[in-house]
């Protein structure tokens, strides 16, 4: 498989996680962490379910991967996520020493991998990593747009 096809394959797995979030009425963001051609952790947003502002897909997946590997250093791993990571998640990615991050669509309101900030290559930090964007971008974007459209319609129907 080509690198682009590999990325698309793993992003499909992250999209499946995003759909799990959507089924729980969570913002549909999903994440998988891959090492040596295998998923070692997967997660989706659980902020509403857990009432936890830090229950982002990336953060949950990083914690699971560290536990599975028995190390906070997630070397030789690639993190796939459907939406550009925020500042908090980028902080965790940097601290975990993840060497590559692949994401679907940009987040113009909170993105820290090119939209508002780009922490992936900030020379002031002690870790930099490869960044790939736009993998399955249209599908990732549609998932989010459809979710928020439904949410707005529901709120209007309730008179909120």
Binding residues for Zn(2+), by number, are: 56, 86, 89
Distance set, CA 60 to CA 44, 52, 94, 121, 124 (Å): 8, 11, 15, 23, 26
Q: What's the half-sphere exposure (Cβ side, CA atoms, 13 Å) at 111? A: 18
Residue with tokens 């997967």: 42
C-alpha dihedral sign at 148, 16, 29, 86? negative
Which residues are part of the catalytic machinery?
58
């Amino acid at each position: 498989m080509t690198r682009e096809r590999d990325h698309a394959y793993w992003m499909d797995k992250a999209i499946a996680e995003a759909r799990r979030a959507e089924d729980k009425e969570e913002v549909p963001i999903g994440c998988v962490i891959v090492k040596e051609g295998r998923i070692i952790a997967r997660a989706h947003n659980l902020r509403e379910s857990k009432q936890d502002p830090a229950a982002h897909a990336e953060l949950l997946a990083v914690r699971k991967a560290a536990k599975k590997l028995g190390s906070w250093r997630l070397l030789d791993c690639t993190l796939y996520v459907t939406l550009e990571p925020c500042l908090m998640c980028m902080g965790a990615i940097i601290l975990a020493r993840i060497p590559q991050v692949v994401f679907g669509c940009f987040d113009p309101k909170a993105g820290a991998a090119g939209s508002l900030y780009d922490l992936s290559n900030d020379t002031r930090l002690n870790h930099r990593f490869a960044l790939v964007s736009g993998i399955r971008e249209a599908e990732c974007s549609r998932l989010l747009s459809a979710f928020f459209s439904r949410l707005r319609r529901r709120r209007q129907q309730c008179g909120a």
